[in-house]
Amino acid sequence: MTRPVTARVPAKVNVQLAVGGLRPDGFHDLANVFLAVGLHDEVTATPADALRITVEGADAGHVPLDRTNLAARAALALAERHAIAPAVHLHIAKDIPVAGGMAGGSADAAGALLACDALWGTQATRAELLEICAELGSDIPFSLVGGVALGRGRGELLTPLETGGTFHWVFAVADGGLSTPAVYRECDRLREASGAGASAADVPDPEPSQALLDALRTGDATALAVAVSNDLQPAALSLRPALADTLRAGADAGALASLVSGSGPTCAFLAKDTEAAQEVATALAASGTCRTVRVTSGPVPGARLVGA
């Protein structure tokens, strides 16, 4: 019997998420600077009679076990391309917050692709895997690549970015999730309500911040803190006003920067060093403004086979 194959995949934080206007196809152009951080899911692929999904870990009960699961869709897409049966049991060990704006579902899809490719011996090229990732979702290619990268288009067109050091992060995990499509709709609504308009014709094309790129390259956490931004944050706060209390608690505890991670509701806090991160985490845990707190750092590599 073929031995199980396990892939380990990181979470991400968006240090810049610049969102263009609503396109006719319903998407938005992005300038999305991803940074992979050391919270990981593991996806194990084992031969089976049919496609099956099981999940363990935090919030496992909120992860779909049918073919709407991104990991299942990844396995199906790879199997279809290579004309093989998607006969695999995918077991997901979750450590990335579910529906938390940290690309946990995208990570699972990238991990499933990598694990199934190894299990089935399909020998897909890196380009083919990235192509499947892009077809499945905007954040999934970065989950495969990791490190730090600029995402253009819907976020799937990646350019790796140079980094000069390690950045220390604290993540405050909220109760419940936020739907990414709902946050984008609220972003559009708020733009319309402001009178500025929400269409691609109304909103300037998103561009990466040069100050942010420079801070990443030099590894300067203080400079990065000044440059981080998230155009979806007002929408996330509109849908979940209590997040403002979480952001304030982290800032009061000495975080260099406080922002909603992606579409939320997880909040991300940049700290000066390991000790400062622990201080911020302790204060957040005592603040009563979040469910759990995680401390980590990045950048870290993208999807990797365990033991490979």
| Per-residue model confidence as pLDDT tens digits over 112-142 | 999 999 999 999 999 999 999 999 988 899 9
Binding site per annotation, positions for ATP:
97-107
Quick one: pLDDT band at residue 154, thresholds 50, 70, 90? confident
Q: Kindly state the helix (H) or strand (E) to which residue 260 belongs, with its residue range.
A: strand 257-260
Taking the domains of the chain in order of start, what are their residue ranges? 5-162, 167-298
The per-residue pLDDT for 216 is 98
The per-residue pLDDT for 307 is 73
Which three-class secondary structure state does DSSP give residue 74?
helix
Question: Considering the chain, what is the average pLDDT of its residues?
Answer: 94
Tell me phi and psi for residue 192, to 5 degrees. -65, -45
Determine the average pLDDT of the residues in 58-62: 82
Determine the average pLDDT of the residues in 30-35: 96
Active-site choice (108, 117, 139, 188): 139
The pLDDT of residue 99 is above 80: no
Which three-class secondary structure state does DSSP give residue 208?
coil
The per-residue pLDDT for 58 is 80
| Per-residue model confidence as pLDDT tens digits over 191-233 | 999 999 999 999 999 999 999 999 999 999 999 999 999 999 9
- Cα 85 to Cα 64: distance, rounded to the nearest angstrom: 21
Residue 139 falls in the annotated catalytic set: yes
5-162 and 167-298 agree in CATH topology = no
The per-residue pLDDT for 308 is 58
Quick one: pLDDT band at residue 8, thresholds 50, 70, 90? very high
- Cα 39 to Cα 59: distance, rounded to the nearest angstrom: 15
**CATH homologous superfamily, domain 167-298:** GHMP kinase, C-terminal domain (3.30.70.890)
The per-residue pLDDT for 59 is 81
- Angle, CA of 7, 8 and 10, to the nearest 5°: 140
Determine the average pLDDT of the residues in 23-42: 95
Above pLDDT 90, what percent of the chain?
Answer: 88
The pLDDT of residue 92 is above 70: yes
- Cα–Cα nearest to 255, from 266, 271, 244: 271
The pLDDT of residue 100 is above 80: no
Task: Pick 5-162's CATH classification: 3.50.50.60, 3.20.20.10, 3.30.230.10, 3.90.480.10.
Answer: 3.30.230.10
Binding site per annotation, positions:
97-107
The per-residue pLDDT for 177 is 80
| Per-residue model confidence as pLDDT tens digits over 248-270 | 999 999 999 999 999 989 999 99
- Cα–Cα nearest to 4, from 88, 72, 84: 88
Determine the average pLDDT of the residues in 61-67: 88
In order of 38, 43, 123, 226, the CA distances from 75 in angstroms are: 25, 11, 14, 41
Which three-class secondary structure state does DSSP give residue 116?
helix
The per-residue pLDDT for 2 is 77
Least confident of 72-76, 178-182, 214-218: 178-182
Residue 94 falls in the annotated catalytic set: no
End-to-end alpha carbon distance in the chain: 19
- Residue 304 is encoded by which pair of tokens? 């990797």
- Residue 245 is encoded by which pair of tokens? 């209390």
